[in-house]
Amino acid sequence: MDLPLVTVGVASFNNAAYLRETLDSIRLQTYPNLEVIVVDDASRDESAAVAEAWLAEHPAVRGRLIRHVTNLGVCRVCNDIVQQGQGEFISIIGSDDVFLPDKLAVQVPLLQAASAHVGVLFSPIERMDAAGQPLPPPADLAPPHEGQVHEHLLRVNFIAAMGALVRRSCYEQVGLYDETLAYEDWDMWLRLAREYEFMYSPKPSARYRIHPGSATFSRRMQLAEASLRLLQKHRGRSPESDAIIAGHTRLLAESLYHLDSPDARRWLRERLRQAPDAIGLGMLLAASMGVKARHLSQAKGWLRRLTAGPAAA
């Protein structure tokens, strides 16, 4: 077959209710030359059984299931997909999301025809709720950029993993996903953007499901700490990049303090080093003395009322 093989990886974890729909959206792609690798990260529900049954029902699909005995994290899941897949191009989707039917038929020819300097092609995605009903785009949706995008990506991650297609050769250049991180995509996009250009295709390619079990509704502390660690890996590229990272560090470190994270003091110290100011020093001193953020906020409120005088009362 003249069409290049595409590896579609499904990152599966506790989404048995949605997994079959995800797999069907891959099977119904209008692009014919693909393989499916489902990696189940020790789901506690029936996800692995659903994947196994689906593969048995569709023997014409070139696919297989990899099961983790213990939960190893989404970055390990992505590494399994990259290492085990045979495709010239790779696309990874969560087990609660879906591809639109012509995602690969649109994206593969564009990336195949692009310069070798272009490593990633990405498209916008649509949002849906647990029942699959459309949701409006977020009010603060970041505009897409293409070409040299490293600094733009440092400001905000505007690329959804399921909307992207990546050349396999790019992973050989930049390495695999960082398994010490709690999530996979932002760090990888930044690493790829240091070596390759990105291309934007305006046609929506996938639908992202938002429901109470998704990361959107959970793991705030873990994701904030992972964001802080991954951003520090990208310091030193330019004064402009370092200034962007310092801004993120300030906001995320303060967020960890307000979430009562045990790592808050460490990151407040780093925040003060990168962006020294009185607010940062005050927060670090308060955290070092064991003062909770909520108590500090109450004290500030009392102080404002006291200094405002009788009129404020």
Does the pLDDT value for residue 297 go beyond 80?
no
CB 42 within 8 A of CB 33: no
Residue 301 has pLDDT above 70, yes or no: no
- Give the chain's mean pLDDT: 92
Angle (CA) 79-85-80 rounded to 5° is 20
- pLDDT, tens digit, 9 for 90 and up, residues 50-80: 999 999 999 999 999 999 999 999 999 999 9
Same-domain pairing of 204 and 252: no
By three-state DSSP, how is residue 2 classified? Answer: coil
Measured distance CA(85)–CA(9) in Å, rounded? 8
Same domain for 197 and 235, yes or no, is: no
Domain carrying residue 269: 220-308
**118 plus 58 within the same structural domain:** yes
pLDDT tens digit string along 107-158? 999 999 999 999 999 999 999 999 999 999 888 788 899 999 999 999 999 9
> 305 is written with which tokens?
């009322």
Domain count for the chain, please give it. Answer: 2
Mean pLDDT of 40-57: 98
Least confident stretch, 140-149, 204-213, 216-225, 296-305: 296-305
Distance (Å, whole) CA 121 – CA 201 = 7
Tell me, what DSSP letter sits at residue 138?
P
Q: Do 196 and 225 reside in the same domain of the chain?
A: no
- Which phi and psi angles does 304 have, rounded to 5°? -60, -40
Two structure tokens written together for 1: 């077959």
Burial profile 41-74: b = 16 or more Cβ within 10 angstroms, e = fewer = bebeeebbebbbebbeeeeeeebebbebeeeebb
**Which one of 191, 216, 241 terminates a domain?**
216
Can you tell me the mean pLDDT for 276-300?
84
- Whether 216 shows a pLDDT value over 60: the answer reads no
Which of 185, 216, 247 is at the close of a domain? Answer: 216
Q: Indicate which CATH number applies to the domain containing 65.
A: 3.90.550.10
Is 232 in the same domain as 207? no
Which region among 64-73, 184-193, 202-211, 296-305 has the lowest average model confidence (pLDDT)? Answer: 296-305
Asked whether residue 97 falls in the same domain as residue 205, the answer is yes
pTM above 0.85, yes or no: yes
Which helix (H) or strand (E) element contains residue 218?
none
Q: How far apart are CA 283 and CA 269, in angstroms?
A: 9
Q: What is the mean pLDDT of residues 88-93?
A: 98
Confidence of residue 298 (pLDDT cuts 50, 70, 90): low
Average pLDDT over residues 225-243: 95
Q: Tell whether 233 and 257 lie within a shared domain.
A: yes
1 domain-assigned = no
Same domain, 229 and 284: yes
Query: Is the same domain home to 174 and 247?
Result: no
In a domain, 94, yes or no: yes
